[in-house]
Amino acid sequence: MHHQATGTFEVKLAPQKADNPQAEAAGLGRMSLDKQFHGDLEGTGQGEMLSILDREKGSGGYVAIERVTGTLQGREGSFVLQHDASMNRGAAKMDITVVPDTGTGQLTGISGSMTIRIEAGKHFYDFEYTLEPAGS
């Protein structure tokens, strides 16, 4: 059965130092993610992001892995989101999906995708997901 969840979130990004010479030489941004979700999803998201950005041209990209823990429309558990995003001279493309078999608790068997909108400086999410029946 398909479900849709919507709401807002706050995110704190904290720069992280590269932990080896190869990573430092790559010149990528490395950040920790700390999110608070509100609405149909009440919980937290923690993870890590790698990014590159050319501010002058308005182009860049990021990848991230984030574990979301909380209550999704009354069901408790966790799952992992994989982010893959790019911006080509200001035109954004974003793909955020649930990593297969990462659901726990009452969210075991979850799959789906999330979109993020930023309007007037506020972050919004739209999450379309399915839950397999227990034992599938």
pLDDT tens for each residue of 6-20: 999 999 999 999 888
pLDDT above 80 (res 133):
no
The confidence score (pLDDT) of residue 135 equals 52
Q: Cα separations (Å) of 79 from 22, 44, 72?
A: 30, 11, 11
> CA 95, CA 80: separation in Å to the nearest integer?
14
The confidence score (pLDDT) of residue 134 equals 56
Asked if residue 132 lies in contact with residue 109, where contact means CB atoms within 8 angstroms, the answer is yes
The confidence score (pLDDT) of residue 27 equals 84
pLDDT tens per residue, range 111-132:
999 999 999 999 999 999 999 7
136 pLDDT band, cuts 50/70/90, is low
Tell me which of 2.40.350.10, 3.10.250.10, 3.30.930.10, 1.10.540.10 is the CATH number of domain 2-131: 2.40.350.10
For 97, the token pair is: 């999906």
What would the DSSP string read from start to end of 77-114? EEEEEEEEEEEETTEEEEEEEEPTT---GGGTTEEEEE
> CA 40, CA 7: separation in Å to the nearest integer?
6
pLDDT tens per residue, range 32-74:
999 999 999 999 999 999 999 888 888 999 999 999 999 999 9
Asked if residue 128 lies in contact with residue 112, where contact means CB atoms within 8 angstroms, the answer is yes
Listed by start position, the domains of the chain span 2-131
β-bridge partners, 2: 130
The DSSP secondary-structure symbol of 23 reads H
- Quote the pTM value: 0.91
Alpha helices by DSSP H, listed for the chain, are 21-26
